Copies of this chain bind each other. A is one copy, B any other.
Amino acid sequence: MSQKRAPLVDPSKNLARFDGHVRIVGTGLLGASIGLALTGDGLDVALADASPSQLRLAVDYGAGRPAAETDDPDLIIVAVPPDVTADVIAAELERYPRAVVTDVASIKSEPFIELTRRGLDLTNYIGSHPMAGRERGGAISARADLFVGRPWVICRDESTPRQALALIEDLALDLGAVPIEMTPDEHDDAVGLISHVPQLVSSLLAARLVDAPDAALRLTGQGLRDTVRIASSQPELWVQILGANAAPVADVLTALRKDLDSVIDALEHPDARGSRRHLADAIAAGNIGVARLPGKHGQDQRFAQIVVMVDDRPGELGRLLTELGEINVNMEDLRLEHSPGTAVGLAEISVLPEVKQRTIEDLEARGWRIASV
């Protein structure tokens, strides 16, 4: 497939490099989003799903066509729940021996070990994991741009065939993602730390609210809301993920419990020598940890921000947006901040990083004041 690559449709985008046939098994959020993006690039995408109604929905949403008996796919993407991923990969490898097969499951060691145990020829299999998701699942929440700017882990070891690796890297790039190569173990340790442990910690914290007095909950602010946001995740999915990545998650939680023990000890003896220091150290260690996260915290990493000062008069914000259109800038997001009684509000607009400087210059030339860059 990489040999017969079509010319780029749009040199500004990294899209439509495939011209082979794609088959997607599982049309939930990830499968349907991949289908939407590849269909949008003009590819033939065949969809399969154990649930006929889910499949019909994904077809209706434009993620592809229903798979046919006569299909002869070049690339197969398995996007099914973790606990059936190995079975489906095995079935696809057997049914389509010519195709390269990947999966998007969020754990990579366990399926690989299971497939190896079955004695399958894994030359055509290469596991991957796009780090993208939404709070809502299903084809109904699918988005063609779900993967733009997101990391896409591709699992390789010394035996991984170069050609299969290149094909999956192209897939990730075509979808706008950033391919990152890791071994299955490196991947599972990493997601244990940055995804599975935060899920459990958020859930354990939220569980403390179950028996809380109503009056206490009325005081809830944004800090608690943010900390427990992911605690609304589905138990059915997470028990599969946690079960398949139990050891790395247990290791991190055990280290966290050691820190928790000494914080509790300091709180139980707040006037003991060293207790205050210990609490300050615990908060300071959190400062250091959160500062290591790439990019500005809490903001969409894909875009650059520009803060424009907008007079608090009717129509001024509309004029700003109209002029952004006139200077041909596509605004990706907008946040407003204004305090009643002040004469000026702040409009934080998000743009693609490459147009940030030009946008600032063009806006300033038109008399807009930029508050911070």
Contacts and interface: CB of A to CB of B under 8 A. Distances in A.
A333 interface: yes
Contacts of A290: 206, 209, 228-229, 231-232
Contact of A216 (B190, B210, B212, B215): B190
A115 interface: no
A86 interface: no
A263 B298 contact: no
A293 interface: yes
A182 B215 contact: yes
B318 A314 contact: no
A293 B224 contact: yes
A202 interface: yes
Task: For chain A, give the interface size range.
Answer: 35 or more
Number of copies: 2
Q: Chain B CB within 10 Å — which of A148, A193, A205, A324 has the most?
A: A205
Given A263-B204, A290-B228, A297-B229, A195 B209 contact: no
A159 interface: no
Interface in A169-208: 180, 182, 186, 189-191, 193-195, 197-208
Contacts of A207: 256, 259, 282, 285-286, 288-289
Given A218-B151, A223-B230, A228-B293, A256 B208 contact: yes
Interface in A40-70: 40
Given A263-B253, A270-B246, A221 B144 contact: no
A96 to B, nearest CB: 28
A372 interface: no
B260 A257 contact: yes
B224 A194 contact: yes
B280 A232 contact: no
25 contacts: A131-B221, A132-B221, A133-B221, A194-B209, A194-B216, A197-B205, A198-B227, A199-B223, A200-B282, A202-B286, A203-B287, A207-B289, A209-B289, A228-B289, A231-B286, A231-B287, A232-B287, A233-B287, A239-B280, A242-B270, A246-B270, A250-B268, A257-B257, A260-B260, A314-B326
